[in-house]
Structure 1
Amino acid sequence: MTNWKLPWEGGCRCGRVRLRVTAPPLVTMACHCTGCQRMSSSAYSLSAAIPSAGFEVTKGEPVRGGLHGDEVHHFFCGHCMTWMFTRVPGMDFFVNVRPTMLDDTSWYRPFIETYTKEKLPWATTPATYSYETVPAFEDYEQLMKEYAEATQAFLG
């Protein structure tokens, strides 16, 4: 893909933790689950699945927060407590970055939305695909392919 204008820089609200993205997203999402609603203090959370090799923390030391189980690891700034990114153990090929942490968010649009069965009745997104929970694991390859095609058309 072209015209992504990488790398992207970003950081938490207070600026003590900074990050860099050097690879385009595999797919973008909005999650309506009640856990994301509570962690983001909003109707849904936004994320961009960035290939792990294209993501790095360049300043500061994020801390684990949110749930402390084995399924997901949420990372925050230890000072301002901004939720910055999520890693899923066993799925180390990507990092779910909160795109609102990036200095430039003009490119962002959720491609899929998940957990619509828990969404607030008035919450809408421009997502192309909606799922009551999450897509089947085997569907992600096709979704990533379609996302790449759609963003190529958008970016030119």
Structure 2
Amino acid sequence: MKPPRLPLTGACRCGQVRVEISAPPLITAACHCRGCQSMSSSAFSLTAIMPADGFRVTAGTPVIGGLHGPDLHHFFCPHCMTWMFTRVVGFDGFVNVRPTLLDDHDWFVPFIETMTKEKLPWAETPARHRFEGFPPMEDFERLIAEYATAGEA
């Protein structure tokens, strides 16, 4: 895995909402849950979990869409409706960014897969770790540390 060159910039499909990332991702993932399948219109969604203080919207004003639940806030471009990032209530120090919206996303490889019990049988990724659900919270520190050193190998 090659580390991304910072800062990273990106935009929604129409370009009206732009973002900038100034910190390296903590970990990358592919989520196979039915919700992500529906929202991405694909077999899974891709996520780069970023420190919140290393992420900012630089143009436009995204709107909450998708589930509209109390715990997940999915942000979309109000014009083209591209799903751009997610904030999870209770995890205020993190933001989940859709990495393929970044101008340079060649560095991205999912390190973990989540919700594999709901994955389509043909959907495969090169992730190093797979979880039938979400990883237990006590595993995240170890996974983040492993991801941080994976690019050095």
TM-score band by shorter chain is over 0.9
- Corresponding residue number in structure 2 for 1:7: 7
Question: SS in structure 2 opposite 1:138?
Answer: helix
- Corresponding residue number in structure 2 for 1:42: 42
Counterpart code for 1:138:
E
Counterpart code for 1:78:
P
Shift of 1:152: 2.6
Q: Whole-Å Cα distance in 2 between the matches of residues 54 and 138 of structure 1? A: 24
Q: Calculate the TM-score normalised by the size of structure 2.
A: 0.97
Counterpart code for 2:134:
V
Shift of 1:69: 1.1
Task: List alignment gaps of at least 5 residues for structure 2.
Answer: none
CA-to-partner distance for each residue in 1:47-101, whole Å, 9 max, x for gaps? 0001001000000000000011112100000000000000001101110000011
Task: List alignment gaps of at least 5 residues for structure 1.
Answer: none
- State the identity as a percent: 64
Q: Whole-Å Cα distance in 1 between the matches of residues 151 and 122 of structure 2? A: 27
- Corresponding residue number in structure 1 for 2:132: 132
Counterpart code for 1:6:
L
Number of positions where the alignment pairs a residue of Structure 1 with one of Structure 2: 152
Q: Whole-Å Cα distance in 2 between the matches of residues 13 and 39 of structure 1? A: 15
Q: Quote the RMSD (CA, aligned, Å).
A: 1.1
Question: SS in structure 2 opposite 1:23?
Answer: coil
Q: 1:45 to 1:3 in 2, by over 3 A?
A: closer
Question: SS in structure 2 opposite 1:124?
Answer: coil
Detail structure 1 runs of 4+ shifted over 6 Å in the superposition. Answer: none
Q: 1:3 to 1:118 in 2, by over 3 A?
A: closer
Q: Whole-Å Cα distance in 2 between the matches of residues 152 and 14 of structure 1? A: 36
- Corresponding residue number in structure 2 for 1:105: 105
